[in-house]
C-alpha cells in the first residue's frame, strides 16, 4: 500500500481537526494493510492509532490497539529493535492515559533498556523517553522525579534544529514545578515554551498545556483575572486538537474555581469585545509569527453586517453567525498564493472562545476570514472604496453604508483600509445628503400627512397602517440625515434613532405611534413628528419657506433646489479641475516632467479644495476665461509657474520674461492688495494648526529658493494669470470674506482634510500630531 500517501492524508485531516474522518482513514488503512499482509505498514498505522485514541480520550480503544501493536512484534520475535521500543513507548503512553500506571512504568523501563543498548545517549528519541516518563511521574504525583526526567530531556533537545521539542519539555517541566509550588521558576519555563509554541500554524496541541500552566501559575499567585484568561485560551486549544477530553474537563473545573474567586461566573462580553479578545489571544500571535513580512500591509478587525458590529448584539443575536472571529483585509495586489496561506492559517485557529462556538451561516460569507479590501467595500457598496459620483452614492442604501463604517479595526499599520472607512464615516457629500433628505421628507408628507388620513377616512385601515409604517421609517431616516449619520437596517433603526443627539422625544413619539392599535388615530403624533423635523430642516434652508405650516412637501422642494445648486457648483469645479489637469499635463519643466503631473488624485484634491469655497458666478467666469485662453493656445498653468520663477530662479526668469503677457500697474496693485489679505490668513492657519502647516509650503517670498516655492510666491503666480475682471471679482469676494471674519485658507484646508477622511481641521491636526500623515499633502 502507499503508506506515505496515507500518512500524509491522515496528517492533513488531523491538522484540519477532522477527527471523525481521521478515525475512518486509520481504520480503513489498517484493514487494507492486513488484507495485503503488509505488516510494516500495519505497525506504523497501529502506532498512529494508539496516539489518536489516546489524544481523543478513547482509552479502551487505545489499550486494544496497543495490545495488537505489541503482538505484531512479539509474535514475530522482533523485540530487540528500535521500532519495537518506539511502539512500546506509545503503548506506555496509552497505559498512562488509561490509568494503567504499573503497566506504563514496566513498558518505560523496557524502552529505556532498549534505547541504552541501541541508541547513542544524545539521540532525540531518548529525550522523548524522558519527556513521556515524566508525564507518568506527574500523574502518579512523583513530582521531583518528573522534574529530574524533564531536565534530562531539556539538556538533550536544547540544540535541536526544531525548537518545538524544547518548548514541549519546558512546558512539562513547568507543570511539575507548579505542583511543587515553585511558581516563579515554573513561569520562566512557561515563558520559554510560549515563545517557542505561540502562534504556530497549525498550533501544536502541546500549546494548550502551556496555556493551562499559565493559568495554574497565576492562580497560585492570586492573580485570578490572569488565570481565568489563560484557562479560557487553553480550553479552545484543547478542544481543537483533542475534543472535550479529560484534560478539557480538568481545565474547565479550574476555570470554574477561578471565576468563583472573582465574580462567580464567566463574564459576558459583547460580540465585538469577544472578537477583539480572540484576535489578541490567537490571531495576533499567528500573524506575527507566520506573516510578519506582510503584516504591515494587512488590516484586521470585524466590520460589516451584523448586530455585534453595530454594538447592538444581545442574547438573541447568538442564534446565527455569532462567535469569536475576525477578518483579515488584504491589499488587492497581494498574491493569491499568499491569500490562500492566510486563509488556511485562519481556518486552523480554534473554533470557539469563552464557551461560544461560531454558528456559521452561508449568507455571512466574507464577514470573517480573509478578504480583499476592495471586495469588502464592493460587497457592501457596489464600489471598491468610497463612492465617487453622486449616482454611486445614491445607489447605496443607508444600511450598507452604516455597515461599512461599523465594527472596529484592531490593526491597520498602512492605514489604507481605515482611511476609506474614515472618509465614509464623514457622511454623505452635502448635495447627496440634501437629495436623500428631500426624498425622506417627501415620503413623510406623502405617507403620513396625506395618504394615512385618506385611507382611514375610507375605512381602509390595513392600508393606512402600511402608510404609517412607511412614514415612521422615513422620519427616522430623515433624523439620521439631519444628524449626519447613516441609518442602519430596519431591525435597529428605532434604537439608533433614540441614540441620536436630541432625539429622545422624537423616538418616543415614533414608538408610541407604532404601538397604537389600528382603531386609534395617530394623526396627532404624525403632525408633532413632522413639526419637529420641519424645524430642523428650516434651519438648513438657504431660502426658508413661508406659510407652509407643517406640510413637508414644500421643505422637500427647497432642499432639492439647494442640492441642485450644490451639484451645479461641484460640476463647475470638476470641469475646471479637469481642464487644469489637461493643461498641466502639457507643461514642460526645465528639469523634465514632474511626478505630480502624473498624480491626478492629489492634483484633483488640491484644486477642488481651492475652488469649492468659491461663489458659483466667479467659478463660471474663471472656467470660461481659462477655456478661452486654452482655445487661443495659451497655457495658463505654464505661465503661472513661469511667474513664480521671478523669485525662485531670477536668472531663468529674465530669459523668458519678455514671453509673458505684460501686467498693468493697476493689475499689480490689485493683486498685491489681495495678497496682503491672504498672507495673514495663512499665518493665522499656521499658528492654529502647526502640525498641518508643517506639511504646507513656507509662507513668505523671502523664504523662496530654487528648491522651494513659498505660499506667497505661488499665490502671486496664480493671481497673475487671471484676467483683470476675474482678479477684480476674486478680490471683491476675498474682501467680503475678510469683512465677515472668515479665513479662506482655513476654508480651503478644511476641504483638503475632508477629502482625506477628516471631519475637521482639528481632527486632522490631532491625527497629524500623533502619527505622520503621509497621505495629506497640503500643496502642489
Domain CATH number, residue 82: 1.25.40.10
**What is the rounded distance in angstroms from the CA atom of residue 683 to the CA atom of residue 252?**
65
474 is a domain residue: yes
Domain end residue (candidates: 394, 423, 452) = 423
Report the distance separating Cα 421 and Cα 152, nearest Å. 55
The values of phi and psi at residue 587, to 5°, are -70, 130
Give the pLDDT score at 707: 85
Integer Cα distance of 466 and 510 in angstroms: 15
On whether residue 281 sits in a domain, the answer given is yes
Determine the pLDDT at residue 596.
81
Tell me, yes or no, whether 416 and 487 share the same domain: no
Q: Has residue 6 been placed in a domain?
A: no
Same domain, 648 and 765: yes
Bridge partners, 705 (sequence order): 708
| Interatomic CA distance for residues 580 and 607, integer angstroms | 9
Global confidence as pTM: 0.81
What is the predicted pLDDT for the residue at 263?
A: 80
Cα–Cα distance, 540 to 320 (Å, whole number):
42
pLDDT of residue 776: 55
Residue 357: per-residue pLDDT: 86
Same domain, 345 and 387: yes
Number of structural domains, the chain? 4
Classify 328 as helix, strand or coil.
strand
Q: In which domain, by residue range, is 720 found?
A: 630-770
| Number of neighbours of residue 637 by Cβ within 10 angstroms | 23
pLDDT at residue 542, rounded to an integer: 58
Same domain, 415 and 441: no
The answer to the question of residue 646 being in a domain is: yes
Give the SS3 label for residue 298: coil
Domain boundary among 91, 118, 145: 118
**Shared-domain flag, residues 59 and 93:** yes
Helix (H, G, I), strand (E, B) or coil at 760: coil
> Is the CB of residue 609 less than 8 Å from the CB of residue 755?
yes
Which regions in the chain score pLDDT beneath 70? 317-321, 359-366, 541-550, 771-780
Residue 110, Ramachandran bin (φ over 0: left; ψ between -120 and 50: alpha; else beta)? alpha
Residue 222 inside a domain? The answer is no
Number of residues assigned to the chain: 780
Question: Is 434 found in the same domain as 412?
Answer: no
- On the 0-12 / 13-18 / 19+ scale of CB atoms within 10 A, 481 is buried
- Residues 492 and 412 reside in one and the same domain: no
Distance, CA of 71 to CA of 723 (rounded, Å): 104
The domain boundary residue, chosen from 562, 586, 606? 562
- 545 close to 555: Cβ distance less than 8 angstroms: yes
Per-residue confidence (pLDDT) for residue 162, from 0 to 100: 87
Note whether 404 and 434 are same-domain residues.
no
Is 401 part of a structural domain of the chain?
Answer: yes
User: Domain check: are 419 and 435 in the same one?
Assistant: no
Assess if residue 313 is contained within a domain: yes
DSSP structure string for 473-487? HHHHHHHHHHTT---
Buried b vs exposed e over 247-262: b needs ≥16 C-beta within 10 Å?
bbeebbebbeebbeee
Q: Are residues 498 and 524 in the same domain?
A: yes
What per-residue confidence (pLDDT) applies to 360?
Answer: 65
Co-location of 488 and 398 in the same domain:
no
Separation in Å, CA 297 to CA 291, 292, 411, 428, 702:
10, 10, 10, 28, 42
Maximum Cα–Cα distance for the chain, whole Å? Answer: 116
**Is 436 in the same domain as 418?**
no
Alpha-carbon gap, residue 297 to 412, rounded angstroms: 7
| Residue 465: count of CB within 10 angstroms of its CB | 17
Inside any domain, residue 18: no
Question: Three-state SS for 694?
Answer: coil
Amino acid at each position: 500500500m502507499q503508506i506515505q500517501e496515507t500518512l500524509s492524508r491522515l496528517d492533513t485531516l488531523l491538522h484540519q481537526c477532522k477527527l471523525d474522518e481521521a478515525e475512518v482513514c486509520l481504520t480503513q488503512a489498517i484493514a487494507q494493510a492486513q488484507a495485503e499482509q503488509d505488516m510494516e505498514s500495519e505497525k506504523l498505522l497501529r502506532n498512529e492509532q494508539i496516539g489518536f485514541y489516546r489524544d481523543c480520550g478513547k482509552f479502551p480503544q487505545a489499550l486494544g490497539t496497543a495490545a495488537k501493536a505489541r503482538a505484531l512484534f512479539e509474535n514475530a520475535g522482533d523485540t530487540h529493535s528500535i521500532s519495537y521500543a518506539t511502539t512500546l513507548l506509545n503503548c506506555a503512553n496509552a497505559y498512562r492515559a488509561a490509568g494503567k500506571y504499573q503497566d506504563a512504568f514496566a513498558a518505560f523501563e523496557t524502552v529505556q533498556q532498549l534505547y541504552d543498548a541501541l541508541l547513542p545517549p544524545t539521540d532525540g528519541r531518548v529525550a522523548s523517553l524522558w519527556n513521556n516518563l515524566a508525564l507518568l511521574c506527574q500523574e502518579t504525583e512523583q513530582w521531583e522525579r518528573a522534574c529530574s526526567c524533564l531536565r534530562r530531556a531539556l539538556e538533550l533537545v536544547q540544540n535541536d534544529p526544531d525548537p518545538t521539542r524544547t518548548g514541549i519539555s519546558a512546558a512539562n517541566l513547568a507543570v511539575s514545578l507548579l505542583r511543587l509550588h515553585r511558581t516563579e521558576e515554573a513561569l520562566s519555563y512557561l515563558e520559554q515554551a510560549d515563545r517557542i509554541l505561540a502562534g504556530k500554524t497549525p498550533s501544536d496541541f502541546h500549546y494548550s498545556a502551556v496555556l493551562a500552566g499559565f493559568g495554574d501559575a497565576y492562580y497560585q499567585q492570586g492573580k485570578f483575572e490572569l488565570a481565568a484568561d489563560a484557562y479560557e485560551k487553553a480550553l479552545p486549544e484543547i478542544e481543537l486538537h483533542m475534543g472535550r477530553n479529560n484534560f478539557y474537563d480538568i481545565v474547565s473545573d479550574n476555570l470554574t474555581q477561578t471565576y468563583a474567586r472573582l465574580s462567580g461566573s464567566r463574564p459576558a462580553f459583547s460580540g465585538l469585545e469577544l472578537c477583539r479578545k480572540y484576535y489578541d489571544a490567537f490571531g495576533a500571535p499567528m500573524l506575527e509569527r507566520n506573516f510578519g513580512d506582510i503584516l504591515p500591509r494587512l488590516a484586521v478587525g470585524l466590520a460589516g453586517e451584523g448586530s455585534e458590529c453595530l454594538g447592538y448584539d444581545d442574547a438573541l443575536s447568538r442564534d446565527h453567525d455569532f462567535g469569536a472571529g475576525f477578518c483579515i483585509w488584504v491589499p488587492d495586489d497581494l498574491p493569491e498564493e499568499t491569500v490562500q496561506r492566510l486563509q488556511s492559517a485562519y481556518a486552523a485557529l480554534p473554533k470557539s472562545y469563552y464557551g461560544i462556538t461560531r454558528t456559521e451561516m452561508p449568507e455571512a460569507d466574507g464577514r470573517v476570514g480573509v478578504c480583499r479590501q476592495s471586495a469588502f467595500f464592493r460587497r457592501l457598496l457596489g464600489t471598491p472604496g468610497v463612492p465617487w459620483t453622486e449616482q454611486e452614492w445614491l445607489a447605496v442604501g443607508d444600511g450598507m453604508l452604516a455597515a461599512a463604517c461599523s465594527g472596529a479595526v484592531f490593526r491597520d499599520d498602512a492605514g489604507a483600509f481605515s482611511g476609506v472607512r474614515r472618509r465614509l464615516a464623514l457622511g454623505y457629500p452635502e448635495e447627496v445628503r440634501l437629495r436623500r433628505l428631500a426624498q425622506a421628507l417627501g415620503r413623510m408628507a406623502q405617507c403620513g400627512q396625506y395618504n394615512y388620513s385618506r385611507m382611514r377616512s375610507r375605512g381602509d385601515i390595513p392600508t393606512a397602517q402600511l402608510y404609517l409604517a412607511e412614514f415612521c421609517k422615513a422620519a427616522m431616516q430623515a433624523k439620521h440625515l439631519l444628524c449626519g449619520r447613516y441609518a442602519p437596517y430596519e431591525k435597529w433603526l428605532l434604537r439608533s434613532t433614540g441614540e441620536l443627539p436630541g432625539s429622545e422625544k422624537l423616538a418616543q413619539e415614533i414608538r408610541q405611534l407604532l404601538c397604537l392599535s389600528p382603531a386609534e388615530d395617530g394623526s396627532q403624533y404624525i403632525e408633532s413628528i413632522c413639526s419637529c423635523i420641519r424645524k430642523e430642516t428650516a434651519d438648513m434652508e438657504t431660502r426658508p419657506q413661508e406659510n407652509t405650516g407643517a406640510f413637508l412637501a414644500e421643505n422637500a422642494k427647497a432642499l432639492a433646489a439647494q442640492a441642485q445648486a450644490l451639484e451645479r457648483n461641484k460640476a463647475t469645479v470638476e470641469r475646471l479641475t479637469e481642464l487644469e489637469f489637461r493643461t498641466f499635463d502639457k507643461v514642460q519643466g526645465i528639469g523634465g516632467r514632474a511626478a505630480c503631473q502624473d498624480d491626478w488624485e492629489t492634483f484633483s484634491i488640491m484644486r477642488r479644495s481651492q475652488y469649492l469655497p468659491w461663489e458659483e458666478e466667479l467659478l463660471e467666469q474663471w472656467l470660461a476665461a481659462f477655456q478661452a485662453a486654452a482655445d487661443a493656445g495659451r497655457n495658463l498653468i505654464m505661465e503661472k509657474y513661469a511667474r513664480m520663477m521671478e523669485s525662485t530662479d531670477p536668472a531663468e526668469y529674465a530669459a523668458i520674461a519678455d514671453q509673458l503677457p505684460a501686467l498693468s500697474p493697476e493689475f499689480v496693485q490689485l493683486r498685491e492688495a489681495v495678497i496682503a489679505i491672504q498672507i495673514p490668513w495663512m499665518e493665522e492657519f499656521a499658528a492654529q494648526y502647526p502640525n498641518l502647516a508643517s506639511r504646507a509650503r513656507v509662507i513668505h517670498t523671502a523664504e523662496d529658493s530654487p528648491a522651494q516655492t513659498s505660499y506667497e510666491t505661488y499665490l502671486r503666480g496664480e493671481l497673475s494669470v487671471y484676467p483683470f475682471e476675474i482678479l477684480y471679482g476674486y478680490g471683491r469676494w476675498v474682501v467680503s470674506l475678510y469683512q465677515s471674519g472668515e479665513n479662506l485658507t482655513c476654508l480651503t484646508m478644511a476641504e483638503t482634510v475632508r477629502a482625506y477622511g477628516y471631519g475637521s481641521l482639528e481632527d486632522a491636526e490631532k491625527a497629524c500630531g500623533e502619527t505622520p500623515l503621509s497621505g495629506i499633502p497640503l500643496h502642489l
